[in-house]
Amino acid sequence: MRILVWHVHGGWMDAFLRGDHDYLLPDDGERSPPLTPRARLVAPHELRDEQIDVVVLQRLEEFELVERLLGRRAGRELPAVFVEHNTPRPSAVDERHPLADRDDVPIVHVTHLNRLLWDNGRAPTRVIEHGIPDDGALYTGELASLGVVINEPVRRGRVTGTDLLPRFAEAAPIDAFGIDSDLLPAALGLGPGRLRVVGDLPTQRLHAELTRRRAYLHPMRWTSLGLSLLEAMSLGMPVLVLATTEAPRAVPPEAGAISCDLDELCAMARRLMNDLDEARARGAVARAAVRARYGLERFLHEWDAVLAEVVHEHRMPHAAVGSASVGAGSGAVAGLSRRGG
């Protein structure tokens, strides 16, 4: 299958492009997608000459881009799915999804929390949880500090729990990774003894540096489910996590600590700073949990099923969506749900 997809979320794209399809990524000259042997960049003006079987959308503006660049309408004249990476805002429960009144473009949510909170209307929906490539158990924990990965932490503020960092810095030094993390010391008033900035690193270097830290801190208040959390767990890091969003589904308590009680999280931070053996043991639990639930093979298999069904239904517009829902391995695909969130 030949798939058109824009590079939006690096971690998700890294997993998605590892499938057995041919992937076309419009080249905007700005982003550097994690290309694989079956993925290639295409100049936008050359897309009309490409044979495209399905488009995977991630932003609303891509509907207009598809029509302008290909001369076809996504959903109506070209099979399409929309990936919803985000939780609804500003309301947690009253937001109607922008595609809620359409039934020709299924919404694929990346977490069950997303589908639950969004009002999906009559749009067909499906949940495909994240897939995390296995880069191995790289954890060493040699540095007695907390690693935190937050992109644009000052701009996003309370959403990402940036305001909580001074509290955690009382329990252990924090090493900050991510885009614009260099703005943190001035914004929080923390000196190098409590907060050190490592910055925005390429994925391979990020993993190598992050896993030297004793534990991973995930202070997100409102997000779907941070890929950086799952990646840290997969690498064998113990984690300290706010029990918000989809995190309680992903993080067993034995993997570190998951709570809305900051005292509990800070107590575990101090404990892990003083006990590398316990940190290693909890990191092993974290890694096992991610490998069991968020494996790459399962992720790609579920995406294969959804894409096959969308293409099939587009060719047979009068067939009921989901009528081919049968067990895996039979050659058919799993049905999409029309239940709203």
Burial of residue 205 (number of CB atoms within 10 Å: 0-12, 13-18, 19+): exposed
Residues 6+ apart with CB under 8 A from 186: none
Give residue 157's region: left, alpha or beta (phi > 0; psi -120 to 50).
left
- pLDDT band for 320, please (50, 70, 90 cuts): very low
User: Which token pair is 251?
Assistant: 């993080």
User: Which token pair is 208?
Assistant: 């190598």
Burial of residue 158 (number of CB atoms within 10 Å: 0-12, 13-18, 19+): exposed
Give 13-28 pLDDT, tens digit per residue: 999 999 999 999 999 8
CA distances from 286 to 13, 232, 237, 289 (A): 23, 9, 7, 5
Rounded to 5°, the CA angle 205-206-209 comes to 85
Averaged pLDDT for residues 220-237: 95
Q: CA 261 to CA 271: how far, in whole Å? A: 16
- pLDDT band for 319, please (50, 70, 90 cuts): very low
Give 251-270 pLDDT, tens digit per residue: 999 999 999 999 999 999 99
- pLDDT band for 327, please (50, 70, 90 cuts): very low
In the 3-class helix/strand/coil scheme, how is the chain assigned residue by residue?
Answer: CEEEECCCCHHHHHHHCCCCCEEEEECCCCCCCCCCCCEEEECHHHHHHCCCCEEEECCCHHHHHHHHHHCCCECCCECEEEEECCCCCCCCCCCECCCCCCCCCCEEECCHHHHHHCECCCCCEEECCCCECCCCCCCCCCEEEEEEECCCHHHHHHHHCHHHHHHHHCCCCEEEECCCHHHHHHHHCCCCCCEEEEECCCHHHHHHHHCCEEEEEECCCCCCCCHHHHHHHHCCCCEEEECCCCHHHHCCHHHEEEECCHHHHHHHHHHHHCCHHHHHHHHHHHHHHHHHHCEHHHHHHHHHHHHHHHHHHHHCCCCCCCCCECCCCCCCECCCECCCC
- Domains of the chain, start order: 2-131+297-315 (3.40.50.2000), 143-293 (3.40.50.2000)
Q: CA 261 to CA 3: how far, in whole Å? A: 44
Residue 310 phi/psi, 5° resolution?
-60, -45
pLDDT of residue 239: 98
Share of the chain above pLDDT 90, in %: 85
Residue 27 phi/psi, 5° resolution?
-90, 110
Please state the length of the chain: 341
Q: CA 275 to CA 256: how far, in whole Å? A: 12
Averaged pLDDT for residues 98-127: 97
Give 159-206 pLDDT, tens digit per residue: 999 999 999 999 999 999 999 999 999 999 999 999 999 999 998 999
pLDDT of residue 329: 32
